[in-house]
Amino acid sequence: MAPVTPERADPRPERHDAGMGIRVGLVGAGGVGARHARVLSGFEDVELAGIWDADAGVAAALAGAVGAPVAAGLDSLLDRGLDAVWLCVPPFAHGDLELAVIRAGLPFLVEKPLAADLAVAERVAAAVAAAGLPTATGYHWRHLDTVDRARDALAGAPVRLVDARWWGTTPPPTWWSRSDRSGGQVVEQATHVLDLLRVLAGEVAEVVGGAAPSTREGRDVPDATAAVLRLDSGAVGTVSTSCVLPAPTAAALEVVADGTWVHLTETALRIRTAAGDEDVSPAVDGRTAVDRAFVDVVSGRPAPPGLVDVAEALATHRLAWAVTEATRTATTVRVPR
Ligand SMILES: NC(=O)c1ccc[n+]([C@@H]2O[C@H](COP(=O)([O-])OP(=O)(O)OC[C@H]3O[C@@H](n4cnc5c(N)ncnc54)[C@H](O)[C@@H]3O)[C@@H](O)[C@H]2O)c1
């Protein structure tokens, strides 16, 4: 991994009147970059002013599909009078990219996880804090109205037990199967439910765990991991992942509080109390809401409560890293603060 050093942001250059809409550049034109490009192209107040990918063919294909220009390189992209940049690269590709965007004085939305390891994420977060730039991250579940509903249901009921689960397949990108490229399944996938665990149950103090090593050639990401959490509040929890199933099977957070059970997925919420069960479907599409939220911020409107900036994402990444380390080493790991 390339070493990175925090750098001071230059003053932001003059830009066009954001009231007329904002100019956005996009880096990384793979699966999630294509999703963001389509969402952004659907906003009347956004101009997708350039797309760059390390693979020029991938960039050209997406640019053609959404009617945006291709940039020949990062410098040429950042030189297009942008108001913000969307960074949609794999976990191993973070660090220098963010520092270049910070040097250019540009706000950015970066996909989760912040990095494949902890050191790069810490350095990027420190550089963002020093520059004072607005940021957002791809923790789009936080924008679901069901998360607010779950929080309301748990208000005043002390949480005693949590269970975060991500059981599914091995995703196709080759980088995913290598821990040093993806960070592993906890860092790359379960991070979504660990983020919600922090929101609904509070911070985790320490983690102990174990892993079932990979049985697939070419993949060092474990077949399964399991961890036990101790929360600041005194509650306990479990986290489990597996990537050996033929289809996505469980991506969920369950919370047991005094008198209340909450079961939350990206598409459904069930609340059980003494009054009975309540099933709620989200009215919000988090994948669109996350882009809308950051466009609003860059345009000068207030940040919506669901927006997870880099500083907040770092707290979730520290937890995911601690779970990964605990399962890798079968030791107790304290979550860094
Ligand atoms: N929020 C979500 O729900 C969600 C969903 C899917 C993926 N993601 C995240 O988005 C990230 C990307 O995932 P993906 O599925 O799009 O991966 P992908 O492999 O499909 O695409 C990544 C693209 O980035 C390009 N790239 C790699 N290194 C680069 C660099 N240094 N500079 C420029 N381009 C570079 C690659 O050529 C590729 O086209 C991952 O971190 C993943 O966790 C988030």
Q: Is the CB of 100 under 6 A from ligand 1?
A: no
With residue 208 as reference, give the H or E element that holds it.
Answer: strand 204-212
Domain-by-domain residue ranges, the chain? 22-133, 141-284+309-334
In this prediction, residue 18 carries a pLDDT of 47
Query: How far, in Å, is the centroid of ligand 1 from the Cα of 257?
Result: 37
User: pTM to 2 decimals?
Assistant: 0.95
When pLDDT is cut at 50, 70 and 90, the band that residue 8 belongs to is: very low
* CATH class of segment(s) 141-284+309-334: alpha beta
Any idea which of 4-13, 43-52, 233-242, 320-329 has the lowest mean pLDDT? 4-13
**Residue nearest (by alpha carbon) to ligand 1 atom 7:** 32
In this prediction, residue 141 carries a pLDDT of 98
Which is nearest to 121 in space by CA: 335, 313, 333, 319? Answer: 313
In this prediction, residue 6 carries a pLDDT of 34
Residue 7, pLDDT > 70, answer no
Give me the chain's average pLDDT, please: 94
* CATH class of segment(s) 22-133: alpha beta
In this prediction, residue 2 carries a pLDDT of 37
pLDDT tens track for 204-233: 999 999 999 999 999 999 999 999 999 999
When pLDDT is cut at 50, 70 and 90, the band that residue 128 belongs to is: very high
Which is nearest to 204 in space by CA: 229, 239, 186? Answer: 229
Q: Is the CB of 292 under 6 A from ligand 1?
A: no
Burial of 300 (0-12, 13-18, 19+ CB in 10 A): exposed
In this prediction, residue 19 carries a pLDDT of 55
Q: Is the CB of 27 under 6 A from ligand 1?
A: yes
Q: Which residues contact 329 (CB under 8 A, 6 or more apart)?
A: none
Residue 58, pLDDT > 60, answer yes
Q: Is the CB of 98 under 6 A from ligand 1?
A: no
Q: Is the CB of 94 under 6 A from ligand 1?
A: no
Q: What is the 3-state secondary structure (H, E, C) of 223-236?
A: CEEEEEEEECCCCE
Residue 81, pLDDT > 50, answer yes
Q: Are strands 332-334 and 204-212 parallel, antiparallel or unpaired?
A: antiparallel
Q: Is the CB of 282 under 6 A from ligand 1?
A: no
Q: Region 278-289: what's the mean pLDDT?
A: 97
Query: How far, in Å, is the centroid of ligand 1 from the Cα of 92?
Result: 10
Residue 15, pLDDT > 90, answer no
Q: Is the CB of 93 under 6 A from ligand 1?
A: yes
In this prediction, residue 257 carries a pLDDT of 98
Q: Region 284-310: what's the mean pLDDT?
A: 96
Structure tokens at 162: 């949590």
Q: Is the CB of 111 under 6 A from ligand 1?
A: yes
Q: Is the CB of 53 under 6 A from ligand 1?
A: yes
Q: Is the CB of 336 under 6 A from ligand 1?
A: no
Q: Which of 1, 26, 27, 32 to mutate to test the pocket of ligand 1 (most atoms within 8 A of CB)?
A: 32
- Ligand 1 atom nearest the C-alpha of 290 is 1
pLDDT tens track for 103-124: 999 999 999 999 999 999 999 9
- Ligand 1 atom nearest the C-alpha of 58 is 39
Residue 98, pLDDT > 50, answer yes
- Ligand 1 atom nearest the C-alpha of 89 is 24
Q: Is the CB of 95 under 6 A from ligand 1?
A: no
Residue 12, pLDDT > 70, answer no
When pLDDT is cut at 50, 70 and 90, the band that residue 1 belongs to is: very low
